[in-house]
Amino acid sequence: MVGLSEGEKHFIRGGIAQDIRTDGRKRLQFRALSVETGVIPQANGSARVRLGATEIIASVKAELGKPSILHPDKGKVSIFVDCSPTAEPTFEAPFQDVLIPGRGSEELSTELAVALQRCLLGGKSGAGAAIDLSSLIVVDGKVCWDLYIDGLVVSSDGNLLDALAAAIKVALSDTGIPKVNVSLSAANDEEPEVDVSDEEFLQFDTSRLDPSVIFDMISVAKHVSQQFIGVLDSEIAAAEAEADE
Amino acid sequence: MEYVNPLTGFRVDGRRPNEMRQLKAEVGVVARADGSALFEMGNTRVIAAVYGPREIQNKGQQVNNKEALVRCEYRMAEFSTGDRRRKPKGDRRSTEISLVIRQTMEASILTDLMPRSQIDIFVQVLQADGGTRSACINAATLALADAGIPMRDIVTSCSAGYLCSTPLLDLNYVEDSAGGPDVTVGILAKMDKVTLLQMDAKLPMDTFESVMGLAIEGCKAIATYIREVLLENTKRLEYQRG
């Protein structure tokens, strides 16, 4: 990434003081957001979100699994983030025997995934979760739905967290969980037979997922100096330079 | 399984044996890359991004300082295949395909015009439905052209197979996993040279000639399409400049 000169940093900070950013936006203005659903036909739900030049593709896959012993009445959701090297050359996987300056995308992917997990699934006790896990249960204690949410960063131009959160929200609202018929004739300790319907789907309930909560919470947490909501990479550099002084 | 219907001659997805899947290409999809392209062959969707020529990041990798260093990484998204994959990078197939794409593109790039620099080609598979290798090479060609990197010729690639005693062009995933032969060819279109040739399973030699010939026909058709896309892109850029 090309560094910024003192003159450029001064110019950016001066502009911000007058409520004008380098791309002409106001301080509290988001970039144009465009959303597309159903981009991955083989997934249960998918979305492609573009926030300016940042592009994220999110997919949701549902598989049958066993609920955890601690929460037998809840399904499971796991969130993974993959930063593709197409977005940034530093996201390339480092070779084992050669030292490459970039660490690869492992740290960033993990950081983003954990932040999203905390946002969407709440803290340890499940408090503050945006997704209702009990809607994913099929047979209490035996069969539940496992949702695997994958976010792929195709193009990175700042504010990955908001774009990822938006993409996941849209993908979840596009998700159809297949209808299941459970045969109740099985004995209590046996694995019940579950017949997964190929035809019928139930729309996943995302009415509790409030995107504005995700946007504001994440953006404010990331920026200490001023109330920015949309971010460009040059502005991150200027804010970091100010913190160093 | 009936890969070619004996009565109608149609394949499992309704194509004729010598019919390629629908092609769709878009240039300039990743804003920050020097060059990028999205390439679709039927349900196989691939994004390629090129960063370069830029300064060599790791002097240790540089073999010849009179030529540019070409590097390539192939990645599959976790949602790209029917069953969710774990560990989409670093597995042997990805490493092998990265190598194959690198060697294929290196044959065409005029590396001696850019000494002491490196060119990175990153290919990301969004949807895999057979022929990912070929789609990646085609996408990489478009991305390199978009980046303005000098090349000898357009590199295109296509696959062909042989099932139910019929040569089939551009196998999809179902046909590919049938266990029959799978020939992947990469050519330099105008120069009429073969730069990549890979095959699985076995074929009698004269059948191989016809299957390879079919794949080369496919490559040439893709080259015509790619040329159209690049021409349109250039016209659009020209128009934007005023």
Q: Chain A neighbours among B 187-216 (CB < 8 Å)?
A: none
Residue A5: inside a domain: no
- Give the pLDDT of residue B153: 94
CA distance B141 to B156: 7
Q: Chain A neighbours among B 19-78 (CB < 8 Å)?
A: 29-33, 36, 43, 47-49, 51, 57-58, 60-61, 73, 75, 77-78
CA distance A176 to A42: 12
Candidates B68, B66, B86; CA nearest to B77 is: B86
Q: Mapped to the 3 state alphabet, what secondary structure does chain A carry?
A: CCCCCHHHHHHHHHHHHCCCCCCCCCCCCCCCEEEEECCCCCCCEEEEEEECCEEEEEEEEEEEECCCCCCCCCCEEEEEEEECCCCCHHHCCCCCCCCCCCCCCHHHHHHHHHHHHHHHHCCCCCCCCCCCHHHHEEECCCEEEEEEEEEEEEECCCCHHHHHHHHHHHHHHCCEEEEEEEECCCCCCCCCEEEEEEEEEEECCCCCCCHHHHHHHHHHHHCCCCCCCCCCHHHHHHHHHHHHC
Residue A227 has pLDDT above 70, yes or no: no
What is the number of CB-based contacts under 8 A between chain A and chain B?
A: 93
**Structural domain count of chain A:** 1
- Give the pLDDT of residue A119: 77
Q: How many residues does chain A have?
A: 245
Residue A221 has pLDDT above 50, yes or no: no
Residue A8: inside a domain: no
CA distance A174 to A59: 10
- Give the pLDDT of residue B81: 83
One-letter amino acid at B101 equals I
Domain at B23-241, CATH class: alpha beta
Structural domain containing residue A114? 31-180+191-233
- Give the pLDDT of residue A94: 62
Quick one: pLDDT band at residue A26, thresholds 50, 70, 90?
confident
Residue A110: inside a domain: yes
- Give the pLDDT of residue B83: 75
Residue A242: inside a domain: no
Residue A1: inside a domain: no
Residues of A with CB below 8 A from B30's CB?
55, 86-87, 154-155
- Give the pLDDT of residue A225: 25
**Among chain B residues, CA nearest to A79:** B78
The pLDDT profile of chain B, 242 residues, written as one tens digit per residue, is: 788 888 888 999 999 999 999 999 999 999 889 999 999 999 999 999 999 899 888 888 777 888 999 999 998 988 888 777 666 556 888 899 999 999 999 999 999 999 999 999 999 999 999 999 999 999 999 999 999 999 999 999 999 999 988 999 999 999 988 888 999 999 999 999 999 999 988 899 999 999 999 999 999 999 999 999 999 999 999 998 87
Domain ranges of chain B: 23-241
Which two structure tokens, joined as six digits, stand for B143? 């991305």
Indicate which CATH number applies to the domain containing A79.
3.30.230.70
Q: How far is CA B110 from CA A125, B138, B149, B229, in A?
A: 59, 18, 8, 22
- Give the pLDDT of residue A55: 92
Quick one: pLDDT band at residue A240, thresholds 50, 70, 90?
very low
Quick one: pLDDT band at residue A108, thresholds 50, 70, 90?
confident
Q: Average pLDDT, whole number, for chain A?
A: 73
Residue A96 has pLDDT above 50, yes or no: no
pLDDT digits (tens, 9 = 90+) for A164-204: 888 888 888 888 888 777 776 554 555 555 556 554 455 55
Across the interface, whether the CB atoms of B48 and A86 are under 8 A apart is answered: yes
CA distance A123 to B167: 57
CA distance A74 to A133: 5
CA distance B1 to B15: 16
- Give the pLDDT of residue B87: 61
Residue A199: inside a domain: yes
